[in-house]
Amino acid sequence: MAGFGWFWKAMGSSATANQKKSKTIVSESTKAADRLADAPDTEVVDIARSCIGTGEDRAIVDAPLLLAALREAASRTVGLRPFDVQLQGALRMLVGDVVEMATGEGKTLVGGLTAVGYGLQGKKVHVITVNSFLAGRDEAWMGPLLDFFGLSHGAIREEAGADERRDVYARDVIFTAVNEAGFDVLRDQLITRRADAVRTPADVAVIDEADSVMVDEALVPLVLAGSEPGPAPAGQITDLVRRMEENRHFTVSGDHRSIFLTDEGAAFIEKELGIDSLYGEVGEAGDNADADGDSGEAAPGPLLSQVNVALHAQHLLTRDVHYIVRDGKVALIDNARGRVAELQRWPDGLQAAVEAKEGLKVTDGGRILDQITVQALIGLYPQKCGMTGTAVAASDQLRQFYDLSVSVIEPNVPTKRFDEVDHVFASDEDRDAAVIDHIVEVQGTGQPVLVGTQDIAASERIADALVLRGVDCNVLNAKNHEAEAATIAEAGRPGRVTVSTQMAGRGTDIRLGGSGDAEDAEHARVVDLGGLHVVGVGRFRSQRLDNQLRGRAGRQGDPGSTVFFVSLEDDMVAVGGAGDELTAQPDADGRLEQKKVLQFVDHCQRVTEGQMLDIHATTWKYNKLINDQRQIINARRDAVLDTETAWDDLSLHDVEKAGELTAAGIDHAVLVQAAREIMLYHLDHEWSDHLAYLDDIRESIHLRAIANESPIDEFHRMSIAAFGELAGRAVAKARETFSEAEITAGGVDLGGLGLHKPSATWTYMVNDNPLSSGGGSMMGSIAAMFR
Ligand code: ADP
């Protein structure tokens, strides 16, 4: 950041000034407390309301009094009297910041107070959580506080149908998992009657685990797909691919994100299949490819795509790391959380390829109807704020992508956690042996241990080794996630060992001695033993993620300690340190204690963090373009939904048919709706084709590594050209359909013309852990192509 020192200084000093200011406001609020203590409930509510201005912006005009009223209400309803630091946090969130508050500081209550503050200003609030379990839990917990102020509230349940969702969305403050919020946006973008929409847009998003949502998962596409047979690789291709050899028939990029077919590999397939050229076939997207007139190149054929997905499934996706096989089905593991991602699938071909690889029944492929990234979803909220234990390290991204500032809130009680220096080993084997010895030893003292691993395979490996040594442990991973929250809550009991993948059980607090109220004696015992001991197996791809794990220990002034066991073979070290030389002499246990080794690991992590930021920035450029195009389509959709424009156009185009229909006495409203459905069918279908085409060009740019032109520019050029023709084509097809379709008093029969809407839809997240071998194939290849 050379040259920008003044900027960061200015930022730092304004942060300090804000901190001072909010402390002053909170201490002023304490003075108002007496006045409220004896006031009846209704008066507390009235006082709170009086703190909101009557101007159009409904600004908070008396912050100290408002905070006092919130504190009083929380004590009366939730039974928790907010600490000063919690009021400070709520205050900064009401200004629109992301606040950093450590684990166990009571962020749920801070979020509740913030929601009330916005609610009193007449704003609709969405509290966004990382999963539906937390949305439900937090809503039930904060409900009484919201009731107190007469604010209606609800949580979006994963299982909820359209009617229930519509009802919940209409309320003042709702709690929802980020993916549910996104899926509802997508489904609402496909309605053909306004009344079918479930969402009521909100004014404010209050985002929990803000860095996870807005940075780590920002580019995860939420996808809505419809059933339609997709290009599943034939079993034959799966068999061929299994016989192919790395570095001969294909190469894998150093970061394990992308796989490339070599000429020899292509020749092998061509020979085995007895075809002339794998590249010769013109893809299904041929029509669209013409839009890109000047390149004269066809999109890759379906056969080539099949070979590519089969290679990807075979050589980049690993069972128990990227997916598990359960009940004869492939279940994806959500890398960010190390748990099974229910109802999620990979994009059509890849899912089928993995099923073929595992010898399972290949399910239907599908068609991607629409998609949105988490970042674009968050962008839909006019106002946002957030909270997390680790915001500072994400400041750059939060500012760059969301224009949000970070406020650090000091802990209520000073932290006493001890972070030990890393234990680094040359090999995974030495590291694992040392980590097991370490856990066995600590557990022997009775101190509870939480072990954080990078993936499920590692957690099982560690757990198995512990069992062999006679240590009982709880494993938190995709295979038993239902009990996750309950299990993690007990991870602070004496002698307990809990092995967890990344952030499994996030959002659930670990209290020393256990979760119950009657655990005070146990609490004291665990405090004497040194509190919770956190062991990281491998450093994460950013310091922030390391800190998320470390933050599990030492909550609310409790003692606690953390240590990471690193191997030079870890993904993060291998990727971040690629090309660097390191010579060091291990001791008898294989441990490398030299200072330069420790610095090297930090260096690798910084390099990785830099790569992640670059990938985020470039990938966002790509996503933003799709998102902008979607907004244009949405504006058109809105017009079609809310006006008679479709009927106006179609009836004008085929005056004769329109005349006949009217003469037949069909109700005007029926005709308008029929025209609307015809127009929307084609618009949506063209959009879906467009997305498939974009996927193809992305893939072809990636495969062909076009020289002399930057891939993003090339992508822009081709996608804009194709988009330019989309609407015109939709209208032309709609006119054709209008002339051909049978329209009666019962409406239009699109099925009669073979124009079927998908018989079922499902949603999934394409997850991406860019350091492991591309759990999200698309993301992996986008990332690779933009570097
Ligand atoms: P975080 O999300 O910040 O890790 P939680 O919201 O899960 O923390 O709360 C952690 C624990 O602290 C909960 O058990 C909660 O009951 C408790 N807690 C929160 N606020 C207060 C308070 N003002 N006084 C006492 N206990 C509190």
| Rounded distance from Cα 36 to ligand 1 centre (Å) | 23
Letter string b/e over residues 555-575, b meaning 16 or more CB atoms within 10 A of that residue's CB? bbebbbbbbbbbbbebbbbbb
For residue 484, pLDDT beyond 90: no
| Torsion sign across C-alpha atoms 596, 602, 605, 611 | negative
Q: Among candidates 100, 129, 17, 159, which has minimal Cα distance to 551?
A: 100
| Rounded distance from Cα 112 to ligand 1 centre (Å) | 12
**Locus of tokens 């809310």:** 642
Ligand 1: nearest atom to the Cα of 389? 3
Provide mean pLDDT across the span 282-287.
35
| Rounded distance from Cα 86 to ligand 1 centre (Å) | 10
| Rounded distance from Cα 160 to ligand 1 centre (Å) | 29
| Rounded distance from Cα 104 to ligand 1 centre (Å) | 6
Under 8 Å between Cβ of 383 and 524: no
| Rounded distance from Cα 84 to ligand 1 centre (Å) | 13
Provide mean pLDDT across the span 311-338.
75
Under 8 Å between Cβ of 268 and 239: no
> Can you give the pLDDT at residue 9?
59
Provide mean pLDDT across the span 56-75.
95
| Rounded distance from Cα 511 to ligand 1 centre (Å) | 10
In this structure, the residue with its CA closest to atom 24 of ligand 1 is 80
Under 8 Å between Cβ of 231 and 746: no
> Can you give the pLDDT at residue 771?
31
End-to-end CA distance of the chain: 21
| Residues with C-beta less than 6 Å from any ligand 1 atom | 80-83, 86, 101, 103-109, 509
Ligand 1: nearest atom to the Cα of 86? 23
Q: What percent of the chain has pLDDT over 90?
A: 49
Under 8 Å between Cβ of 485 and 133: yes
CA–centroid distance for 596 within its chain: 36
In this structure, the residue with its CA closest to atom 20 of ligand 1 is 106
In this structure, the residue with its CA closest to atom 5 of ligand 1 is 106
Q: Among candidates 372, 384, 312, which has minimal Cα distance to 348?
A: 312
Distance CA 115, CA 383 (A): 12
Residue 483 or residue 552, greater confidence: 552
- What pLDDT digit, counting tens, does each position of 540-573 carry? 988 888 998 998 999 888 999 999 999 999 988 9
- Segment holding 33, helix H or strand E: helix 5-37
Residue 435 or residue 276, greater confidence: 435
In this structure, the residue with its CA closest to atom 25 of ligand 1 is 80
> Can you give the pLDDT at residue 273?
83
DSSP one-letter code for 714: H
Confidence band (pLDDT; 50, 70, 90) for 255? low
Of the given ranges (3-7, 145-149, 717-721), which has the lowest mean pLDDT?
Answer: 3-7
**Locus of tokens 């124009």:** 755
Q: Among candidates 300, 343, 392, 396, which has minimal Cα distance to 132?
A: 343
Confidence band (pLDDT; 50, 70, 90) for 581? confident
Ligand 1: nearest atom to the Cα of 107? 3
For residue 499, pLDDT beyond 80: yes
Q: Among candidates 213, 102, 145, 210, which has minimal Cα distance to 509?
A: 102
In this structure, the residue with its CA closest to atom 12 of ligand 1 is 106
- Which of 75, 78, 80, 100 to mutate to test ligand 1, by most ligand atoms within 8 A of the CB atom? 80
Provide mean pLDDT across the span 679-688.
94
Q: Which residues make Cβ contacts (< 8 Å) with residue 329, sequence separation at least 6?
A: 360, 363
Ligand 1: nearest atom to the Cα of 83? 23
- Which of 93, 105, 558 to mutate to test ligand 1, by most ligand atoms within 8 A of the CB atom? 105
Provide mean pLDDT across the span 62-68.
95
For residue 343, pLDDT beyond 60: no
For residue 496, pLDDT beyond 90: yes
| Rounded distance from Cα 508 to ligand 1 centre (Å) | 10
Q: Is 320 helix (H, G, I), strand (E, B) or coil?
A: coil
- What pLDDT digit, counting tens, does each position of 201-210 carry? 999 999 999 9
In this structure, the residue with its CA closest to atom 17 of ligand 1 is 106
Highest mean pLDDT among 213-222, 674-683, 699-708: 674-683
Ligand 1: nearest atom to the Cα of 208? 2
Provide mean pLDDT across the span 320-345.
67
Under 8 Å between Cβ of 366 and 762: yes
Q: Which residues make Cβ contacts (< 8 Å) with residue 682, sequence separation at least 6?
A: 729, 730, 731, 733, 734, 737
Q: Among candidates 88, 93, 86, which has minimal Cα distance to 107?
A: 86
Confidence band (pLDDT; 50, 70, 90) for 769? very low
- What pLDDT digit, counting tens, does each position of 222-247 carry? 878 776 544 445 667 888 888 899 88
Q: Which two tokens stand for residue 381?
A: 């909220």
> Can you give the pLDDT at residue 71?
97
Provide mean pLDDT across the span 344-367.
70
Burial of 276 (0-12, 13-18, 19+ CB in 10 A): exposed
Under 8 Å between Cβ of 374 and 186: no
Under 8 Å between Cβ of 77 and 65: no
| Rounded distance from Cα 470 to ligand 1 centre (Å) | 35
Provide mean pLDDT across the span 531-541.
94
Distance CA 78, CA 76 (A): 6
In this structure, the residue with its CA closest to atom 15 of ligand 1 is 106
| Rounded distance from Cα 750 to ligand 1 centre (Å) | 55
Helical H segments across 131-175, by residue range: 132-148, 162-169
CA–centroid distance for 546 within its chain: 18
Distance CA 694, CA 782 (A): 11
| Rounded distance from Cα 556 to ligand 1 centre (Å) | 9
| Rounded distance from Cα 83 to ligand 1 centre (Å) | 10
DSSP one-letter code for 239: H
In this structure, the residue with its CA closest to atom 14 of ligand 1 is 509
Beta strands in 671-783 (DSSP E): 743-744, 747-748, 761-765
Q: Among candidates 665, 394, 482, 450, which has minimal Cα distance to 564?
A: 450
Ligand 1: nearest atom to the Cα of 101? 3
Residue 660 or residue 158, greater confidence: 660
Beta-strand pair 747-748/743-744:
antiparallel
Of the given ranges (158-162, 346-350, 394-398, 740-744), which has the lowest mean pLDDT?
Answer: 346-350
Provide mean pLDDT across the span 281-287.
36
In this structure, the residue with its CA closest to atom 19 of ligand 1 is 106
> Can you give the pLDDT at residue 778?
36
Burial of 588 (0-12, 13-18, 19+ CB in 10 A): exposed
| Rounded distance from Cα 110 to ligand 1 centre (Å) | 9
In this structure, the residue with its CA closest to atom 23 of ligand 1 is 82
| Rounded distance from Cα 23 to ligand 1 centre (Å) | 20
Q: Which amino acid is at 71?
A: R
| Count of beta carbons in the 10 Å neighbourhood of residue 356 | 25
- Which of 175, 206, 509, 532 to mutate to test ligand 1, by most ligand atoms within 8 A of the CB atom? 509
| Count of beta carbons in the 10 Å neighbourhood of residue 396 | 14
Confidence band (pLDDT; 50, 70, 90) for 345? low
| Rounded distance from Cα 554 to ligand 1 centre (Å) | 14
| Count of beta carbons in the 10 Å neighbourhood of residue 16 | 11
Ligand 1: nearest atom to the Cα of 82? 23
For residue 469, pLDDT beyond 80: yes
Under 8 Å between Cβ of 108 and 77: no
- What pLDDT digit, counting tens, does each position of 734-760 carry? 999 999 999 999 999 887 777 766 655
CA distance readout (Å), 411 to 4, 19, 101, 314, 669: 30, 13, 7, 48, 61
- What pLDDT digit, counting tens, does each position of 506-528 carry? 777 788 888 776 667 888 899 99
Domains of the chain plus CATH, in order, are 8-219+374-408 (3.40.50.300), 235-364 (3.90.1440.10), 416-609 (3.40.50.300), 618-785 (1.10.3060.10)
Provide mean pLDDT across the span 280-308.
46
